[in-house]
Amino acid sequence: MNETRDLLERVGERFPFSDESFERLLRRRDRIQRNRRIAAATLALILTAIGIGVGIRFVALDRSVPAEPTDVRNGELAFVGDGNVHLVDPSTGQTRILVRACPDIDETCAARIGSADWSPDGTRIAYAKETEEDAGGAAGIYVLDMVSGETARLTSCSDPCWSQTELDWSPGGTRIAYTQHAGGMCTAAAGFDGRCGIFIVDVDGSAPEQLRTGFLTDPVDPSWSPDGLEIAFTARGVGAVTTPRQSAEWTVYRIGTDGSGPVPLTTMDRFLAAPAKPAWSPDGSLIAFVVTDAPSLYGQLWTMAPDGSDLTFLADLGCCAGGGGLDNDPSPEWSPDGTRIAVTLESSHLGILDRDGNEVADLGGDWWAYPSWQPVS
């Protein structure tokens, strides 16, 4: 401001004008500068408002994007043994009974539980109860809510239904896939005396429907893909023989829940025994499965890519871990974080292996089967 006044005074010396004119020039100068400052401040406010608006918009957009999944820790392992649902802490080996097939511990009770599976959020557990025909018609699939303690029945199983087993929750937690035996047990040990099918039911018990597998017979062992769009399973081809020694007719397939497929993933000439019990890894990169020989009850654990490539042998499971299509066979189960695999080992012990097939723990047991690992967020 002083520099401007000096300039005006020098100009006044060369071109004289009155003091009043000089003051008018100064006031005009001050007014112009004040208006410029106001304009600059207004522009700054506008830009700031625009920036805040953009920021709010970005925050809103971020909120609409699904959050990254939280870390999932490995909780307790559920398994069936002695006809009941047990829980075992993998870190300590401590076990307890969660669900009894016969609540009154009645030795004459004809009921047993054949399969159990945790929900994806780890708050519910589904289990399949089996009874004889005269056991009050209690056979079917049930869901226990671990928070409320309430149990809901989803399905019933009466003639011609023989049993419902091999439960597997969908990744979204809204449906459960299972194997249903009709007219008998369609297993190698039973000579496939029955007809198997894979069914899907909503968790409220509504809309049960059979998964259409085309020309295949005796589809069993359903396992949902992590995206919920496909199911891996085991089945026999057209004209497959029905004796235990020919159990190699079993093949692992995958099929779209929209009915597309099925696509064979294992070939009969690749294995000397039956590939079965597929289990999708949590990240969808691998499918674990067992290769078992029904006469010898000898099993192996393998993995493969979802397209059937990259076949990798992981471990020998030993004698008596199970057999192709046998009850209590070694069903692999991935840990929720994908770093471990639980599977039935020699003498029907429950074991934990790492992704390379190295044994991490032997949890013992007697006829422990169908492990299911609880996700804990």
Q: Please tell me whether residues 239 and 124 are part of one structural domain.
A: yes
Considering 64, 81, 111, which residue would you say is the last residue of a domain? 64
Q: Please tell me whether residues 131 and 14 are part of one structural domain.
A: no
In this predicted model, what pLDDT tens digit does every residue of 67-125 receive, in sequence order?
A: 344 467 899 999 998 889 999 998 888 999 999 988 766 566 778 898 999 999 999 99
- Give the H/E segment covering residue 86: strand 84-88
Considering 18, 34, 64, which residue would you say is the last residue of a domain? 64
Considering 29, 44, 64, which residue would you say is the last residue of a domain? 64
Q: Please tell me whether residues 55 and 81 are part of one structural domain.
A: no
Domain of 24, in residue numbers? 2-64
Q: Please tell me whether residues 57 and 77 are part of one structural domain.
A: no
- The answer to whether residues 323 and 369 touch, using CB atoms and an 8 Å cutoff, is no
Q: Please tell me whether residues 83 and 180 are part of one structural domain.
A: yes
Largest separation between any pair of C-alpha atoms in the chain: 126
In this predicted model, what pLDDT tens digit does every residue of 315-330 receive, in sequence order?
A: 988 776 544 344 446 7
Q: How far apart are CA 284 and CA 227, in angstroms?
A: 8
Question: How many domains is the chain built from?
Answer: 2
How would you list the strands of the sheet with 84-88, edge to edge? Answer: 95-99, 84-88, 73-81, 369-376
Q: How far apart are CA 209 and CA 175, in angstroms?
A: 11
Return the C-alpha torsion angle 80, 83, 84, 90, nearest 10. Answer: -30
The two structure tokens encoding residue 374? 């609880």
Q: Please tell me whether residues 134 and 199 are part of one structural domain.
A: yes
Residue 125, domain CATH: 2.120.10.30
Give the predicted TM-score (pTM) of the model.
0.76
Q: Please tell me whether residues 98 and 126 are part of one structural domain.
A: yes
- The answer to whether residues 129 and 80 touch, using CB atoms and an 8 Å cutoff, is no
Q: Would you put residue 104 in left (φ > 0), alpha (ψ -120 to 50) or beta?
A: alpha
Cα–Cα–Cα angle for 323, 120, 157, nearest 5°? 55
- The answer to whether residues 325 and 277 touch, using CB atoms and an 8 Å cutoff, is no
In this predicted model, what pLDDT tens digit does every residue of 34-79 receive, in sequence order?
A: 555 555 555 444 444 434 343 322 222 222 233 344 467 899 999 9
Q: Please tell me whether residues 285 and 148 are part of one structural domain.
A: yes
